[in-house]
Amino acid sequence: AQSVAQPEDQVNVAEGNPLTVKCTYSVSGNPYLFWYVQYPNRGLQFLLKYITGDNLVKGSYGFEAEFNKSQTSFHLKKPSALVSDSALYFCAVRDASGGSYIPTFGRGTSLIVHP
Amino acid sequence: NAGVTQTPKFRVLKTGQSMTLLCAQDMNHEYMYWYRQDPGMGLRLIHYSVGEGTTAKGEVPDGYNVSRLKKQNFLLGLESAAPSQTSVYFCASSRLAGEQFFGPGTRLTVL
């Protein structure tokens, strides 16, 4: 079985400050990990993914995420937040060891960046 | 490249009516998915398909049916709509283990 936890329903940060959106996961085998962003009244957009290789993954809009196998975490980060980053963020995991390859999503974290 | 498109964008139904939501993708993806999104519930998988002619149940399949007669299309049907099916519906597609591409969503209200 696979699962994802996003422990914070909401994250508040001031513009210009660094931001972190947390994600922890559980899979039987190795994970494929993904971050998506959803702006109001829009579909989800892919931000970045970890499949294999470098633990630090860089993605769209200046976001990055660090894969930490020992802590089973894949936190999303950005060095300097923008008001336009305010959105709903979803973490997702797939088990790379096989099966149906259907991802499991977290419940989402609302990021609010204050001017 | 249109990506993933969904038809219609909005719909209001009365209880007991039926309707079909259409999803189309032009990326030649094998996998397609239907999700519903409700406040505080995140995304919940309704049905999915791993290839043309195949479908499978997701987390919340009751009250819905799907068909994938062509690789590029994935249809979601509601045979007898209920107020509990009021939601925003998203379709997505992907390659085998790659990221998903989502459509813009269909906002459905069942009165």
CA atoms B95, B98, B104, B107: torsion sign: positive
Measure CB to CB from residue A101 to each of B96, B102, B104 and give the nearest one.
Answer: B96
Q: Residue B84's pLDDT is what?
A: 96
CB contact under 8 A, A42 and B104: yes
* Those residues with Cβ within 8 angstroms of residue B30's Cβ, 6 or more apart along the chain or in another chain: B50, B51, B71, B94, B95, B96
- Residues of A with CB below 8 A from B90's CB? 43-44
Q: Per-residue confidence at A99, pLDDT binned at 50, 70, 90?
A: low
Q: Residue B53's pLDDT is what?
A: 93
Nearest CA in chain A to B58: A102
Chain B interface, best mutation among A30, A46, A102, by max B CB count within 10 A? A102
Q: Residue A68's pLDDT is what?
A: 96
Measure CB to CB from residue B97 to each of A44, A101, A107 and give the nearest one.
Answer: A101
Give the three-class secondary structure for B101.
strand
φ, ψ for residue B26, nearest 5 deg: -115, 25
Q: Summarize the confidence of residues A88-96 as an average pLDDT.
A: 93
Residue B74 amino acid letter? F
DSSP string, B25-81: ESS--SEEEEEEEETTTEEEEEEEEEETTEEEE-SS-TTEEEE-SSTTEEEEEESS-
DSSP string, A52-96: SS-SEEE-GGG-EEEEETTTTEEEEEESS--GGG-EEEEEEEEET
Give the three-class secondary structure for B106.
strand
Q: Residue B1's pLDDT is what?
A: 73
- Residues of A with CB below 8 A from B96's CB? 101
Summary mean pLDDT of chain A:
94
Question: Does residue A8 carry a pLDDT above 90?
Answer: yes
* Those residues with Cβ within 8 angstroms of residue B59's Cβ, 6 or more apart along the chain or in another chain: B44, B45, B46
Interface A-B, measured as beta-carbon pairs within 8 A, has a size of 51
Q: Residue B2's pLDDT is what?
A: 80
Summary mean pLDDT of chain B:
95
Q: How many angstroms separate the CA of residue B18 from the nearest CA in chain A?
A: 24
The answer to whether B52 and B69 have CB atoms below 8 angstroms apart is yes
Containing H/E element for A29? none
Q: What is the pLDDT of residues B68-84, one digit of tens each?
A: 999 999 999 999 999 99
Q: Per-residue confidence at A100, pLDDT binned at 50, 70, 90?
A: low
Q: What is the pLDDT of residues B6-31, one digit of tens each?
A: 999 999 999 999 999 999 999 999 99
Nearest CA in chain A to B103: A43
Q: Residue A98's pLDDT is what?
A: 67
CB contact under 8 A, B97 and A100: no
- Chain CA centroid to CA A11, Å: 13
